[in-house]
Amino acid sequence: MVHIADGILAPEIWISGFILTGVLLIYTLSKIKIEDVPKISLVASAVFVSSLLYVPLGPSSVHLLFVGLAGILLGLGAFPAVFLAVVLQAFLFQHGGVTTIGINSLTMGLPALISYGIFVVVIKKLSWKKRFVFGGSLAGGIAILLAVLLTSTVLVVTGKEFIGLVVLLVASHIPVIVIETVLVGGITEFLQKVKPEMLVEVKK
Amino acid sequence: MSDNRDIIVKNLSYTYPDGTPALKDVCFEITKGENVALVGQNGAGKSTLLLHLNGVIENNNGCITIVGKQLDKKNVPDIRKKVGVVFQDPDDQLFMSTVFDDVAFGPINMGFSEETVKERVKKSLQKVGLSGFEERCPHHLSFGEKKRISVATVLSMTPDILLLDEPTSNLDPGGRRNIIETLKTLDSTKIIASHDIESLLEICDNAILMDKGRVVATGRSEDILTDIELLNSHGLEAPSIVKMLGDDVIPLLRDNFDSSQIKRHEKTIKKAISKKRKKEIFCK
Amino acid sequence: MSDNRDIIVKNLSYTYPDGTPALKDVCFEITKGENVALVGQNGAGKSTLLLHLNGVIENNNGCITIVGKQLDKKNVPDIRKKVGVVFQDPDDQLFMSTVFDDVAFGPINMGFSEETVKERVKKSLQKVGLSGFEERCPHHLSFGEKKRISVATVLSMTPDILLLDEPTSNLDPGGRRNIIETLKTLDSTKIIASHDIESLLEICDNAILMDKGRVVATGRSEDILTDIELLNSHGLEAPSIVKMLGDDVIPLLRDNFDSSQIKRHEKTIKKAISKKRKKEIFCK
Amino acid sequence: MTHFDIDKYAYLKSPFHNFDPRAKVLCFLLLIFSIVLLNDIRVLLIAFISTIILVLISKIPLLFILKRFKWVALFIFAVLVVLPFTVPGENAFYIGFLSVSHSGILLATRVSLKAFSVMLLIFPMLSTMKFVIFIKTLEHFKIPDKLVQMISFIYRYIFVVSNEFQRTLRSVSSRNVGKKTRIFRHHILSNIIGMTLVRSYERGERIRIAMLSRGYNGNMKTLNSFRMTKKDLIKCSIIIIWSISLHVIVLTKILDLARVVNSV
Ligand SMILES: Nc1ncnc2c1ncn2[C@@H]1O[C@H](COP(=O)(O)OP(=O)(O)OP(=O)(O)O)[C@@H](O)[C@H]1O
Ligand SMILES: Nc1ncnc2c1ncn2[C@@H]1O[C@H](COP(=O)(O)OP(=O)(O)OP(=O)(O)O)[C@@H](O)[C@H]1O
Ligand SMILES: [Mg+2]
Ligand SMILES: [Mg+2]
């Protein structure tokens, strides 16, 4: 639900969304190597597929975003991955909007980049055994928190009439933040054990 | 219990969501402790049938009863405790990060103590000939090794009913021998879907022959799996040893063809050959 | 060309990133048009070796020459055009959304005209016995059907060199027969890794036996694959028909055991049995 | 193993199915942007109706479209439920003790009309061609090579990932008996997702190799090649003219005129 559909935002906002996304895309694309293309695509697909999944939670269900996970796995490549996931979600599953592709990529892609930064700092600065779980959890949780905050900001900037929507948005994502904190931590630990080369390279 | 039928399948039909019909009006019964061979061409519906018996595929088109309980949403968890499945593709079976965890997964879930779990894992790995692989990642094994671990994950649960989908495919002949011997010593009721008819002849008492989703023949495996014409008419072939010796091959097979046995069986073999010859001449 | 060696492997060693040694100092040569059987226990390193020959695994520890070109980063694209691989796991092989697209993928990339592509697809599907499956989705097939399609995707490209990893596993006996006959008619140089020693005896001239990453024997397949002691000492087993008849079985195998042939071969069989018997007595 | 039905209706026959993909994508994008830029609720209604007509022409079954609705519906539902109550403005009516505002209803309607129109337009635009063709179309648009390659890999990998996920789930459920604690369940879930990732990663790598060894060199070749025909030109012009006229209607205030005339 962090995907904003068409028709809500003012044109100035979604147009600047496109411009900013374009700039970030050009920058991140220039930073990734052609050999990394398959890996980035794979993580993008994983993000895409998991965003179609519902995790039952009590009587209702939430869907996961795994933006933070994308950051941990791909580093800078997370941005194009998130962008493409957003594009395909809009075009293949009518999930999100077309004119809002730029904005949605930003609200999800920026947190991915930030959580990548957090993860790198944690792994570099700490030396205890559980640092991967910790770094993963932190990155996973914060990414969602940021995504929700960014989306809320965009809505509020568009118009005060959307404050009610923002409240609903934040409330419904509190469980997601908790779940992803726990899950991404576990996944990071698992990957570190089974296939460390999948995690983003951290030079000590 | 007066009823010793472990598995009853009645009028089971199934069509995959994309419209491919896979099972058509399948009926059979299997008694406790029986070993049943499930044979049929590629796409005959063997795997689909096995997936039904463990509740992996849900289907209201027909009626399945396992150890006296009807298979429905309510009973599935109970029934899964009793039924172990080895999938055709080992990648469908393994999901933990070490071989130990994977083989221990079932027993831990069944609530055994740590001691028992360890004991069970050790024994199952021994049975498939992979002791010492505990700390490897199941995902990084050769295909045949994965297949063996898949079998071990189910053996460790000692289920009442064992469903095995191609347990010997991709195994080296030695590994195949191991699995066959292991299966022979287990008391569970077993259904084994396989194209390895020679192994089936060795392990199974009864056989079910499927073709295009239907059960076309059931009976003693000696009768069905050595009936060259029957097999041929459903796109199968008898193993060459059967082609040569007919059903006289059974005692040899069950003795596992030790060179020394060849001697003991010389008479049988010669008899079989001349019988075959007579038939040849007679047929012409 | 004076040099008719299609594949030369020299001092090839490989250790997987997780530290498992898979190949140790492997050396062999294969001439044009040769059919080579690659046998060995589960985990012996067969698949790893085949993956090297197509440049899937990059490795500087050794030297591989394919059709006169050294296998390195620069030459890989060229070499891949000449070498077709059937992977052990069919799910690695199929990636398009219809069977037609999948089988057509290779020929289209090779730049054939639409006509030719359609023709080739049709023929390849015929060869594996799956005509009429064009519009099905490859992921919604039975395991054996997938395996057949994998073979078809490579047949449609008629490469100079064919690497087949377990082409007959999970196939029903009829399908297995089909593949064997198809392979026999192809002129390509072939390496076939398989545990189905009976089929290998039928198709292959030469054999390479591996154990724990090393090549432990090479030679004519009649010699290697019927040598019961050799096979046993490396964890393999001869097919039961070989156990019974020894290497006298070859002509029978290549004739495919028609009942009528049994009669023709009666003498061979009887001779084989008594030879075996004598050996028995002699050995004791 | 779901295949998400992406190419399911690409084989039907309709004016949109044999529309040149490049022209089709451009025209529909134009129409989408033009609709989102509208503000007059009456024009939006007209646009919405025209969208439905386009969908009908495309012959994509309505049931299929309805199934896809659930994703947008979630958002729209939130909008419809929340906005009328929270947007301040002139009171329209009460539900219980909650007041529903006029401007709230209007805003909610406008937003839903736009969102639904766009989502509907995607069907005649994309469901009428195979996705591989869409990727080829992107190549024609001079989109950066890396991006196009990524899209075609993603398309492949979507199935890989969902297949691997379902397989992992299946294997877990077939041995997952008895009762577990919460902790255990979370442990299992991260294991399942982690394992799915690893498996997809490796499978993806092997599939890439399989593609390479069958001559793949970065662009998806299929048997189709694009040709613009006269018919395509006509279809193009119709859609382009329609996109523009929607705004002409607004600018020239034709609808208001009608009311003025009426009242006179
Ligand atoms: N996921 C699926 N979706 C649609 N059809 C399927 C699916 N899986 C199998 N089928 C079809 O259902 C039929 C039965 O398949 P099944 O896998 O049960 O065959 P099988 O007897 O196990 O064959 P094999 O010997 O090749 O393993 C086949 O025609 C197959 O094409
Ligand atoms: N991805 C991998 N990572 C680490 N080790 C591996 C990997 N794949 C295989 N191995 C190991 O390398 C060795 C050789 O494996 P390989 O797959 O080549 O065997 P194989 O001869 O093909 O066996 P099979 O008959 O079972 O297919 C085995 O010990 C195996 O455990
Ligand atoms: Mg099957
Ligand atoms: Mg192998």
HEC string of B137-178 equals CHHHCCHHHHHHHHHHHHHCCCCCEEEEECCCCCCCHHHHHH
The verdict on B256 and B219 lying in the same domain is no
d(CA C98, CA D139): 22
Highest mean pLDDT among B222-236, B239-253, C251-265: B222-236
Residue D25 identity (one-letter amino acid): V
Q: Are B236 and B41 in contact (CB under 8 A)?
A: yes
Q: Give the CA angle between residues B88, B89, B95 to the nearest 5°.
A: 125
The verdict on C30 and C161 lying in the same domain is yes
CA dihedral of A69, A70, A75, A76, whole degrees rounded to 10: -150
Q: Is it true that domain A11-198 has CATH number 1.10.1760.20?
A: yes
Say if ligand 1 is within 6 A of residue B124 CB.
Answer: no
d(CA B215, CA B16): 18
D10 in a domain, yes or no? no
Decide if C275 touches B, using CB distance below 8 A: no
**Ligand 1 centroid to residue C203 C-alpha, Å:** 29
d(CA A92, CA A95): 8
d(CA D165, CA C167): 27
Q: State yes or no: ipTM above 0.90.
A: no
Nearest CA among A105, A116, A115 for reference residue A75? A116
Residue C159: is it exposed, middle or buried by C-beta count within 10 angstroms (0-12/13-18/19+)? buried
D8 in a domain, yes or no? no
CATH number of the domain where residue C147 is located = 3.40.50.300
Q: Give me the number of domains chain C comprises.
A: 2
Residue D53 lies in domain: 21-128+231-263
| Tokens coding C275 | 């030879």
For residue C10, the cross-strand partners are C63
Structure-token match 């697209």, residue found: C101
Query: Which atom of ligand 2 lies at the shortest distance from residue C23's CA?
Result: 14
The verdict on D189 and D103 lying in the same domain is no
Decide if D176 touches B, using CB distance below 8 A: yes
The verdict on B207 and B275 lying in the same domain is no
H runs (alpha helix) in C35-113: 46-53, 76-82, 99-109
Q: Are B188 and B159 in contact (CB under 8 A)?
A: yes
Residue identifier of the C-alpha nearest atom 17 of ligand 1 = C142
Report the range of poorest mean pLDDT among A1-5, A76-80, B92-96, D112-116. Answer: A1-5
Residue B4: is it exposed, middle or buried by C-beta count within 10 angstroms (0-12/13-18/19+)? exposed
Backbone angles phi, psi at C280, to 5 degrees: -50, -55
Residue B247 lies in domain: 239-284
R_g (Cα) of chain D, nearest Å: 24
What pLDDT sits at residue A55? 62
pLDDT in tens, B131-163: 999 988 888 888 888 888 998 999 998 889 999
The verdict on D239 and D122 lying in the same domain is yes
Q: Give me the number of domains chain D comprises.
A: 2
The verdict on C34 and C168 lying in the same domain is yes
d(CA C70, CA C8): 9
D218 in a domain, yes or no? no
What pLDDT sits at residue B284? 38
Q: Give the CA angle between residues C246, C251, C257 to the nearest 5°.
A: 95
What pLDDT sits at residue B224? 92
pLDDT in tens, A21-45: 999 999 999 988 877 888 888 888 8
- What whole-number percentage of chain B has pLDDT above 70? 86
The verdict on B117 and B83 lying in the same domain is yes
d(CA C146, CA C142): 6
The verdict on D31 and D121 lying in the same domain is yes
Report the range of poorest mean pLDDT among A36-40, C142-146, D178-182. Answer: D178-182
The verdict on B140 and B205 lying in the same domain is yes
The verdict on C27 and C44 lying in the same domain is yes
- In this complex, the residue of C20, C144, C237 whose CB is nearest that of residue B173 is C237
The verdict on C94 and C176 lying in the same domain is yes
What pLDDT sits at residue C181? 86
- pLDDT top residue among A129 and B101: B101
Residue D243 belongs to what H/E stretch?
helix D230-251
Residue A94 and residue D71: Cβ atoms within 8 Å?
yes
Residue D191 and residue B95: Cβ atoms within 8 Å?
yes
D5 in a domain, yes or no? no
The verdict on B158 and B279 lying in the same domain is no
- What whole-number percentage of chain A has pLDDT above 90? 41
d(CA A180, CA C213): 43
The verdict on D247 and D163 lying in the same domain is no
What pLDDT sits at residue D258? 66
Choosing from B211, B234, B257, the residue where a domain stops is: B234
**Ligand 3 centroid to residue A63 C-alpha, Å:** 34
Q: Reduced to 3 DSSP states, what percent helix, strand and coil does chain A have, rounded to the nearest 5?
A: 75, 5, 20
Q: Supply the pTM of this predicted model.
A: 0.79
D2 in a domain, yes or no? no
What distance separates the 2 farthest-apart alpha carbons in chain B?
Answer: 68
CA dihedral of B211, B214, B216, B222, whole degrees rounded to 10: 70
**Ligand 2 centroid to residue B144 C-alpha, Å:** 8
Q: Which residues contact B69 (CB under 8 A, 6 or more apart)?
A: B75, B78, B79
Residue D226 banded pLDDT, cuts 50, 70, 90? confident
The verdict on D169 and D112 lying in the same domain is no
What pLDDT sits at residue B281? 46
Structure-token match 């026999």, residue found: C184
